[in-house]
Amino acid sequence: MFNYDNVKNKKSTFISMTSLTEEEFEIFYMYFKKALDDHNREKNYNFSKGGRKPKLKTDKDKLFFILYYMKNYPLQETIGYSFGMSQSQANYWIHELSAVLKRTLSDSNYSPERMPRELIQQLEKENLPNLSIDGTERRINRPKNKEEQKKKYSGKKKTHTVKNNIIVGNNDRQVKYLGETHEGKKHDKKICDEEKIMCPEGSNLYADTAFIGFKINGVNIVIPKKKPRGKKLTEEDKENNKSISSVRVIVENVISGIKRCRILKDTFRNTKLYFDDLVMLLACGLHNFRSHQRHQSY
């Protein structure tokens, strides 16, 4: 049966199960413990009244459980068996601890901003002149409703998806902004227009050709030049595009780091309302935590 004590001394196994090193886990646990205590207090939970012994015996086991679920995304029946509990108990703990994890990341300031006005306030404080924006899609199970099928079918991915736009700091590789979760059919630029993305005046925002036509007052939108129909790009245009791509690769690397959590990489199965948005937020926050801890060690 899995638990924290059984795995903590197995370095490679621990990382593959949680996406964190043991040292990072211990640091993150300090934030998690406070958030869990606050959560239990608000819910008026009292675990000293007796009853059956809990399957997740310690708070570290609870953190280990939810990180394992995010990183590996097993079936609920499978994770329940692995932790010595029923599928219904596993379902309960997944949603209960996801809420605690969200609170942990928010309280420790690792969650990305969700509102454009809060984003611009944060970026002005950090004074980051170079940013990148990109959209990322995730596969979902085929919806049963015909209208939902049509809305969430992505012609680009040839399957049903949901998508988010993210903004990344090029210097610190942190996710600064996470947009709302939209149907896969919607275009990246249209999402930006609807969400009214804002960045500080004078900043540079690197994007790909999906954002052609997108504008923010006072912001330099840097986009590669698209090859004209029936013509070729000049050597100067090719060099310029190459230079832009060398900067934009940062956002691609960040997306790869976010999708270290297989809950975003595998076909998403959960049907609880808004849970698809929540797990994206959690994965971005976990990436920000890992990135911050590992940047400090350099």
Domain ranges of the chain: 4-107, 116-271
Our measurement of the distance from residue 76's CA atom to the centroid of its chain's CA atoms, rounded to an integer in Å, reads 21
Is the pLDDT score of 298 beyond 80? no
DSSP designation for 132 = E
For β-strands 204-206 and 130-139, DSSP reports them as parallel
pLDDT of residue 297: 54
Is the pLDDT score of 63 beyond 70? yes
* Over residues 194-221, mean pLDDT: 93
pLDDT of residue 205: 96
Query: Which strand (E) or helix (H) includes residue 131?
Result: strand 130-139
pLDDT band at 46 (very low <50, low <70, confident <90, very high): low
For β-strands 204-206 and 220-222, DSSP reports them as parallel
Say which residues have a Cβ less than 8 Å from residue 162's Cβ, sequence separation at least 6. Answer: 137, 138, 140, 152, 181, 182, 183, 184, 268, 276
Is the pLDDT score of 54 beyond 90? no
Around Cβ 89, how many Cβ atoms within 10 Å? Answer: 16
pLDDT in tens, 146-179: 988 998 999 888 999 999 999 999 999 999 999 9
The torsion angles phi and psi of 135, rounded to 5 degrees, stand at: -105, 150
* Residue 178 bridge partners (DSSP): 166
SS (H, E, C) 31-80: HHHHHHHHHHHHHCCCCCCCCCCCCCCCHHHHHHHHHHHHHHCCCHHHHH
268 against 297, higher pLDDT: 268
The structure tokens listed for 162 are: 């949901």
Considering the chain, what percentage of its residues have pLDDT values greater than 70? 97
pLDDT band at 45 (very low <50, low <70, confident <90, very high): confident
pLDDT in tens, 110-124: 999 999 999 999 999
Residue type for 169, please?
G
Give me the chain's average pLDDT, please.
93
19, 67 Cβ separation under 8 angstroms: yes
180, 189 Cβ separation under 8 angstroms: no
Around Cβ 169, how many Cβ atoms within 10 Å? Answer: 22
260 against 47, higher pLDDT: 260
pLDDT in tens, 250-295: 999 999 999 999 999 999 999 899 999 999 999 999 999 999 998 8
Between CA 211 and CA 1 the distance in angstroms is: 48
* DSSP string for residues in 204-249: EEE--GGGTT---TT-EEE-PPPPPTTS---HHHHHHHHHHHHHHH
Is the pTM higher than 0.85? The answer reads yes
Between CA 68 and CA 116 the distance in angstroms is: 32
pLDDT of residue 141: 94
